[in-house]
Structure 1
Amino acid sequence: MKKALLLISIVFLFVSCDVAKKIIDKNMPEEVDQTEDVIAEITGEKKEVIIDTTVTLLTKKEIKKIKKDREKEDKIARGDTLGFVKKKFYQFFPKREDRIVSYPKMYSEKPKSILLIYPWNRSKNQYASEMYIINLSKELSQRGYYVIPTMVTLNKHTQDTMFSSQYIKADEIRKYKEEFGADAVMFVTVYSLSKPWWSTNINSVAEYALLSTTTTDTLFYRRADFNYDSPIPPYKPIKSKDTYEMDQRTIPLFGTCFQMQRSVFMDFPYGPYHKNYLKDQKKFSYQREMRYKIDARPS
C-alpha cells in the first residue's frame, strides 16, 4: 500500500511540474522581445507594433474588371470620352481646337514649376529613359517653366522603380507638392525606341501625362507614335575634334528623341517665364494622339 501511494505521488509530482513548465513557457516573453523592450526603455522610443495584414487573392476575372475600370477612369480624367465612330472620324478629319479648349486647366491653374518623373521605360532600349528626360527637361524649360533638377527623381527611381509609374493614388501625387514644391508632375511612359539593323526606320512611342499636385487633375495628355526615316551613315567620329565619342547606333536614337519632344510639345501652353505667356490661348492645338511618319534624311 505504501509503495502504491509513493508511486502515485511521484507521478502526480511529474505531471504538475510539466503543467507548470508549459504555463511558464507560454507566458514568458521571447528573448528577442525582451531585448527590444530593454532597448526601447533605454532610448525612450516606442516599440514597433506589428499588425498582421490579410492578403486577398483575386481571380483573373476580378483582376480584368479592376483593370478595365481603372482604364475607364484614366480616359475620363484625360478627357477621352468620344465613342469609337467619332474618334475615327476626327482622326481622318480633325476638328480645329484652340489651346484654351484643349487645355483649359493649364490656363486656370497656371503651374509655374514642373517635376519630371524619371520615365518609365517599357522598351527594349536600356538608355531610352535618359534620352527622353534630357530632351524633355530642355523642351519644357524653353516653354517657360521651371523644371526641378532631374537628379532628384533619378535617385528616387533607383530606390523604387514603381515611383515612375503614373498609376498611383491621388494622395501620393499631392506629396510632390509638399516634398518638392512642384505645381505639376510629368509622367512619361516609353513604349518603344528601336531601330532594326536592316532598316533606316526608327520607331518611337511614348505617353505623356501632366498631373496637378493641387487638384490631381490631368492638365496635359498625349500619346505619340513617330516613325523617322534616319540618314545613313548617321555619324562619323573625328578623333581630332570629338572629345566625347558616342556609339554610332545611339546617335540617331538621341536625335529622334530630340525631334519627337519638339513635335509633342509644339502646342504646349507657354509658361510664366516666357514672353508669350497667356497670349497663345487662341492658337491651334494638335490631337491627343499623334501618329506621324517623318523623313529625317537630308534633301
Structure 2
Amino acid sequence: MLKFSILKCLPVLAVCALLAACVGPQKQTAGYDYTAFKSAKPRSILVLPPLNETVDVNATNGMLSQMTMPLAESGYYVLPVAEVAETFRQNGISLPVEMQATSPKKLREIFGADAVLYTKVTQYGSVYRVVDSSTVVTATAKLVSLGTGDVLWQGGASANGKELGNVDFGSGSIIGMMVQAAVKQVAHSLADKSQEVAGLTSQRLLSAGQPNGLLYGPHSPKYGSD
C-alpha cells in the first residue's frame, strides 16, 4: 500500500518540481539588486557633465541642463552644476572626461556629496532614415557611492522627437516620403529639438519609481516606499 501511494504522488511531485524550476530563476532576475543602494542611503548627488560619444558638440550641455530636475523631484539634493563646474575650473579641470576620471575619494573631499552620477550620451540629434527622420537622444548613467566607491545603480534611456508631438507628414510615394524625411531632418536641425528630447530622456533615466530605476530619495514623501 505504501508503494502504491508513493507512485500515485509521483505525478504531483513532478508538477511541483517543474513549477519550482520555472519560478526560481524568475525571482532571481525579476528586479534590480538595490542592496548597495539601500545600504548607502545617499542624500546628495554630484552630477558630472556627461561624456559625449556623438558628433554633436551640444550633447554634453544639452543633456546636463535637463538632469537636475528629475533627481530633485525624486528626493535628492543635487549640487548646483554651475558651482561644480567653477570648482573644477579653479582646479584646472575643464573637460568632462577629466572630471569623470577624478577618483571618488577626491570628489568626496572636494564636494562632500554622498554619491556621484556618471553619464554618457551615445546618441544626440537628428537621425535620418530613408522614409523618416527624427531627433533622438540616448544616454546611460551610473550612480556611485563617494564613501565606498560601490556602484549603487546604473541604467539607460532613450527618447525621440515624435514623442514630443512632432508633425507627421503622412505617407505617400517612396520619393515623396524620402523628401519629407529630408525636410523633417532640416526642420529638426533648425528648431534644435534635441534639448527638449534630452529632457524626456532624463526623466526616463533619472526619475524614481520606475522599473529598475532610481529609488526615491530622503526628501521625497515616497522615501522608503520602494
Q: Give the shorter-chain TM-score range.
A: 0.5 to 0.7
Larger Rg: 1
- The two structures have a TM-score, normalised by structure 1, of 0.50
3-state DSSP class of the match of 1:229? helix
Aligned equivalents of 2:115, 2:46: Cα separation in 1: 6
Asked if residue 249 in structure 1 is aligned to residue 191 in structure 2, the reply is: yes
Aligned equivalents of 1:128, 1:195: Cα separation in 2: 12
Partner AA of 1:115 in structure 2: L
Aligned equivalents of 1:227, 1:96: Cα separation in 2: 28
3-state DSSP class of the match of 1:260? helix
Contact in 2 for aligned 1:118/1:153 (Cα 8 Å): no
Q: Which residue of 2 aligns with 1:270?
A: 216
Please state how far the C-alpha of 1:103 moved relative to its aligned partner.
1.9
Q: Which residue of 2 aligns with 1:75?
A: none
3-state DSSP class of the match of 1:276? coil
Q: Which residue of 2 aligns with 1:104?
A: 35
Please state how far the C-alpha of 1:206 moved relative to its aligned partner.
1.5
Asked if residue 145 in structure 1 is aligned to residue 86 in structure 2, the reply is: no
Q: Which residue of 1 aligns with 2:109?
A: 178
Q: Which residue of 1 aligns with 2:9?
A: none
3-state DSSP class of the match of 1:135? coil
Task: Mark the CA change 1:121 to 1:262 in structure 2 (over 3 Å): closer, same or farther.
Answer: same
Please state how far the C-alpha of 1:139 moved relative to its aligned partner.
0.7
Q: Which residue of 1 aligns with 2:93?
A: 159
Please state how far the C-alpha of 1:248 moved relative to its aligned partner.
4.3
Partner AA of 1:264 in structure 2: L
What does 1:9-88 align with in structure 2 at a 5 Å threshold?
none
3-state DSSP class of the match of 2:70? helix
Partner AA of 1:275 in structure 2: P
Provide structure 2 residue ranges, at least 5 long, that are not aligned to the other structure. 1-25, 169-188
Question: Paired residue for 1:229, among 162, 165, 168?
Answer: 162
Please state how far the C-alpha of 1:226 moved relative to its aligned partner.
4.1
Q: Which residue of 2 aligns with 1:118?
A: 49
- The two structures have a TM-score, normalised by structure 2, of 0.65
Aligned equivalents of 1:154, 1:190: Cα separation in 2: 18
Aligned equivalents of 1:276, 1:196: Cα separation in 2: 38
1:123-169: CA deviation from partner (whole Å, max 9, x where unpaired): 1122211221121111100000000010133332683423243xx47
Question: Paired residue for 1:214, among 147, 157, 166?
Answer: 147
Q: Which residue of 2 aligns with 1:135?
A: 66
Kindly indicate whether structure 1 or structure 2 has the higher relative contact order, using CA contacts under 8 Å at least 6 residues apart.
2
Q: Which residue of 1 aligns with 2:12?
A: none
3-state DSSP class of the match of 1:191? strand
3-state DSSP class of the match of 1:232? coil
Partner AA of 1:279 in structure 2: S
Question: Paired residue for 1:258, among 185, 199, 223?
Answer: 199
Please state how far the C-alpha of 1:227 moved relative to its aligned partner.
4.4
Contact in 1 for aligned 2:160/2:197 (Cα 8 Å): no
Contact in 1 for aligned 2:45/2:114 (Cα 8 Å): yes
Instruction: Tell me how large the CA RMSD over aligned residues is.
Output: 2.7
Contact in 1 for aligned 2:157/2:204 (Cα 8 Å): no
Aligned equivalents of 2:39, 2:79: Cα separation in 1: 22
Aligned equivalents of 1:105, 1:191: Cα separation in 2: 27
Count of residues paired in the alignment? 168
Aligned equivalents of 1:206, 1:261: Cα separation in 2: 8
Please state how far the C-alpha of 1:122 moved relative to its aligned partner.
2.0
Please state how far the C-alpha of 1:205 moved relative to its aligned partner.
2.2
1:29-53: CA deviation from partner (whole Å, max 9, x where unpaired): xxxxxxxxxxxxxxxxxxxxxxxxx
3-state DSSP class of the match of 1:223? strand
Aligned equivalents of 1:224, 1:276: Cα separation in 2: 23
3-state DSSP class of the match of 1:105? helix
